[in-house]
Amino acid sequence: MSDWLHNLPVGWMAVVVLGGTYLIAAAIFVGVSVLAKGERQRAFKAVSPGLLSPLGVLFGLLVAFTAAQVWSDNDQANAAVNREASALRAALILGDTLPAESAAYLRTQIRRYTAEVTTEEWPQMAAGTATLGTGAHHLAGALVSIMKASATDTGPQPTTASLTGIITSLQTVLDARRQRILISQRSVGLSKWCCILIQAVGTLFAIALVHSDNRLAAILAMGIFATGVGASVLLISAYDRPFTGHFAVPPEPLLQATAEQ
């Protein structure tokens, strides 16, 4: 699905998706109604109503499998952001055991990292253009500085456990960042959208054929199914990209974890 659709407010997204679905259904209804005359109408009526059930089941399976991918991506995105925030908070807490100058430098670098992530990296993830090559230099610099300061500082030295904890926390931050960037590049592929569309159109066409001799029944049946198709597409589209749109995963956990106390 295109970027402009994902960035629409939910209300307008619903208008576009449902409106497009109803237009397709209306075009199919008009086309079948025009063709359903004489010998063709008898051929249309020969289509068994029993065909509708397996077609509907197949459409439901396609939607279910696609939705399962979308929910999994969103769950993983939330988990990665929360893990990153927890690791940042742990690094700040453990940083208090460092010498004053090193602790202040660590806090500064972590907050610079958070500011860069939330103001630059998040919009890039929303656009699907974020890469692993940028954004981590603040943490890398902090880690190197801490190790050098701890080796040369003549004041009170942090314990090995504290240093290990800080290093582990920063490594966790970098790993969680890598995961969320990779997840931000995921979306429902064009082939899956095409399969869903083909199945929906085929089912609508079958409904129109089965009810070709009763226009009111065709309108009602196609309208009900088209509403279900539109709702399914709307739901998947709204959550298709975990970091894009109204329901995007927010950076607030990172900001809260690194906020001044």
> Domain map of the chain by residue range?
3-257
Confidence grade of residue 100 (pLDDT, cut at 50, 70, 90): confident
pLDDT value of residue 248: 92
Instruction: Say if residues 162 and 102 touch (Cβ distance below 8 Å).
Output: no
> Of the candidates 27, 63, 15, 36, which has an alpha carbon nearest to the alpha carbon of residue 204?
27
Contacts of 197 (CB under 8 A, 6+ apart): none
Lowest-pLDDT choice from 43-47, 98-102, 107-111, 148-152: 148-152
What tokens appear for 17 in the block?
Answer: 């998706």
Closest to 28 measured CA to CA, from 215, 257, 244: 215
pTM of the predicted protein model: 0.84
Which candidate, 78, 76, 10, places its Cα nearest to that of 245?
Answer: 10
What does the DSSP 8-state code read for residue 249? P
Tell me phi and psi for residue 212, to 5 degrees: -65, -20
Over residues 160-206, the pLDDT tens digits come to 777 888 888 988 999 999 999 999 999 898 999 999 999 999 999 99
Residue 86, C-beta contacts closer than 8 angstroms, at least 6 positions apart = 257
Task: Say how far apart CA 127 and CA 138 lie, in whole Å.
Answer: 23
Q: Which pLDDT tens digit goes with each residue over 225-255? A: 999 999 999 999 999 999 998 899 999 999 9
Classify 190 as helix, strand or coil. helix
